[in-house]
Amino acid sequence: MFSDKINHIRVQQVLVFAMGVLSFAVIMTSCTHASKSCSAYQEIEMAE
């Protein structure tokens, strides 16, 4: 069949590596600004 021609282990390794790189890129771009906080509640007024 067609699945015999696909190296599933290699495909999984590439996908895991790509997801890791993308996750690292998102973390680095969202939390490296010195003037900005990563807090979701930075500019929200809290009701008492």
**pLDDT reading at 15 higher than 80:** yes
CA distance 44 to 40: 9
**39 or 27, which is more confident?**
27
Give the pLDDT confidence of 20-37 residue by residue, as tens digits.
999 998 888 876 655 555
Whether the full predicted model's pTM is greater than 0.85, yes or no, is no
CA distance 32 to 38: 9
Question: For residues 21 and 29, is the Cβ–Cβ distance under 8 A?
Answer: no
